[in-house]
Amino acid sequence: MLRQPLLLLRAVPSLILAAFGAAQQEPASDGARSQDVLRGSITPERAWWDVLHYDLSVSVHPDTRSIGGSNKITFKTLQAGGRMQIDLQPPLEIARVVHQGEELEFEREGKVYWITFPSPLDAGIEDVVEVFYEGKPRVSTRPPWSGGLSWKKDEQGNDFIATTCQGIGASIWWPNKDHGYDEPDRGMDIRITVPEALTAVSNGRLIETQSNAASETRTFHWRVVNPINNYGVNMNIGNYVSMDGSYDGEGGKLDLQYWVLAHQVEQAKKQFAEVPRTLAAFEHWFGKYPFYEDGYKLVVVPYLGMEHQSSVTYGNGFRNGYLGRDLSRTGVGMKFDFIIVHESAHEWWGNNISMRDAADMWIHESFANYAENLFVEYHFTAKEAQDYVIGCRALIQNDSPIIGTYGRNKSGSGDMYYKGGNMLHTMRHMLNDDDKWRECLRGLNREFWHKTVTTAEFEAYMSRECGFDFGKVFDQYLRTTDIPELVHETKGDSVTVWFEKVVPGFRVPVVLTIDGKERRVTVGTEPVEIATGGKAEDFALDRNFYMTVRAK
């Protein structure tokens, strides 16, 4: 997802941050588990079963702004269990639950439904339960930063409808196990029924379009064969036409589709030429596009955009920059379409590699932000890439740690974007080995291919594969709000340097320029003396290191 930049709406916080841990079931003040615990932790009612496949059918009624349908959930039992947690947020309601032809008992507790089987299911079996639901879903007031459905009209007066749900959860519009740790191993089928004049676009590939003469509707059947995170599932409805293309990449021929409104075709033909360029840059840096089987789609929507897996949504007005603005204020941001580049980066960071807990949302957003600068480097110059990422430092607030609260569906600071991107940029220059750095980025996508991960796993992999212990760097930038302060003191013909405002044990290489001579020096909290042979009156830290400098 994208963050609403501070230069546009400084008062609007980001809604997208996340993390994972084996959370304990903490009671609320009345002794019951609170809603944030039920949503954000792996409850016993979730832990005993594993999702294999979702088969979601939804009928959409624009005239009443209501939806209804069912989700057929195929699962396997990891242990015996008889009580299942299914998430569905008000005002939507579950109407009935069917298992092996029999209706099951259920009860609601806030945003959670408890499904009870007549007797516990044995461990090690595969089974199916179908959940039927209906109602008027929450309306999104500010998509994509608020979740729900957007019931809009396009410029021609046609219905233009879309879902957004990152942060608040997919259960705001369909029933599921709404936690990042469990993605459907076998993917998902999505069937959307809409008035016959409209077209419904979702994730994966279009399998079939069925006309329903009696109800004057059409059903669009989409299929995803790869695992998919819940918030990456989307539903877009409008007066769409499709434009087909292809990209010859590391995995062979990748099918491209652009779904735009009928009157936008000419604009899209020009602007969406950015897509193959984006894929080329990211396959270079991150490895093979993760979803060749499901294809790549760019879908026009009535909001700015989001990273829905194999169905990237777009509302940037067919122009470069972020709504025509340069977030870095350097001019570089106008060289590319921010939404295409940032949201497509999430196919690797967020969709291929997915956070297991919302507290670790930085894995999605820091890398997607950093990818913008790598796109610039690939297609333009290293200097312009550096200008861009460094220019975005002005948007960093250092208001709270980037890692959020585990087990509560609570992400951290919006600094996961610009600060997270600058952390990664700094780490690259600490390592000082671009080939190894690129191989590490590609290796992450191989190691965690189609998996959910934790920050701890990410930290361990990067330190091991880069051959440099980044543990204290992650502690500093992800878990504190302090920026390392490099202090220098000149005495005669030497300069002494050390770090302040750092976590214990912080010790990293930096690049300094002293009297016009560049030096690479490893610095910690203990003073390091550098002989200069002169007065050492000129002192500078290389700009690629996100740190502050103070003369003593």
DSSP 14: -
**For residue 24, pLDDT beyond 60:** no
- In 3D space, the residue among 498, 482, 483 whose CA is nearest the CA of residue 530 turns out to be 498
Token code pair at residue 462: 């990067």
Q: What is the mean pLDDT of the chain?
A: 94
DSSP 104: P
Cα separations (Å) of 480 from 400, 470, 548? 7, 15, 15
What band does 14 get if pLDDT is binned at 50, 70 and 90? very low
Q: Residue for token digits 């550096």?
A: 386
Who's near 257: CB < 8 A, 6+ residues apart? 242, 243, 244, 245, 295, 296, 297, 298
Whether 372 and 338 have beta carbons less than 8 Å apart is answered as: yes
148-153 and 451-453 strand pairing: unpaired
Whether 332 and 387 have beta carbons less than 8 Å apart is answered as: yes
User: What's the rounded Cα separation, in Å, for the pair 311 and 273?
Assistant: 17
Q: What is the DSSP string of 158-196?
A: -EEEEEE-TTT-GGGTS-B--STT---TT-EEEEEEEET
Whether 358 and 36 have beta carbons less than 8 Å apart is answered as: no
Interval 156-164 mean pLDDT:
97
Inter-axis angle of helices 471-479 and 418-431, nearest 10 = 160
Per-residue pLDDT at 534:
67
Taking only the tens place, the pLDDT of each residue in 404-424 is: 999 999 999 999 999 999 999
Per-residue pLDDT at 15:
29
Q: What is the DSSP string of 45-79?
A: HHHTEEEEEEEEEEEEETTTTEEEEEEEEEEEESS
Ranges of beta strands (E only) in 373-470 are 451-453
Token code pair at residue 66: 């209501």
User: What's the rounded Cα separation, in Å, for the pair 276 and 246?
Assistant: 8
Buried b (16+ CB within 10 A) or exposed e, 10-26: eeebbbbbbbbbebeee
**For residue 9, pLDDT beyond 80:** no
State percent of the chain over pLDDT 90.
91
Per-residue pLDDT at 32:
52
**Residue 96: beta bridge partners?**
132
Interval 140-153 mean pLDDT:
95
Who's near 464: CB < 8 A, 6+ residues apart? none
What band does 25 get if pLDDT is binned at 50, 70 and 90? very low
- In 3D space, the residue among 519, 514, 523 whose CA is nearest the CA of residue 547 turns out to be 523
User: What's the rounded Cα separation, in Å, for the pair 95 and 115?
Assistant: 12
Per-residue pLDDT at 3:
65
**For residue 191, pLDDT beyond 90:** yes
**For residue 537, pLDDT beyond 80:** no
User: What's the rounded Cα separation, in Å, for the pair 486 and 545?
Assistant: 11
User: What's the rounded Cα separation, in Å, for the pair 231 and 339?
Assistant: 18
Domains for the chain: give ranges and CATH numbers: 6-345 (2.60.40.1730), 485-551 (2.60.40.1910)
User: What's the rounded Cα separation, in Å, for the pair 154 and 260?
Assistant: 11
Buried b (16+ CB within 10 A) or exposed e, 367-397: bbbbbbbbbbbbbeeeebbbbbbbbbbebbe
Taking only the tens place, the pLDDT of each residue in 339-394 is: 999 999 999 999 999 999 999 999 999 999 999 999 999 999 999 999 999 999 99
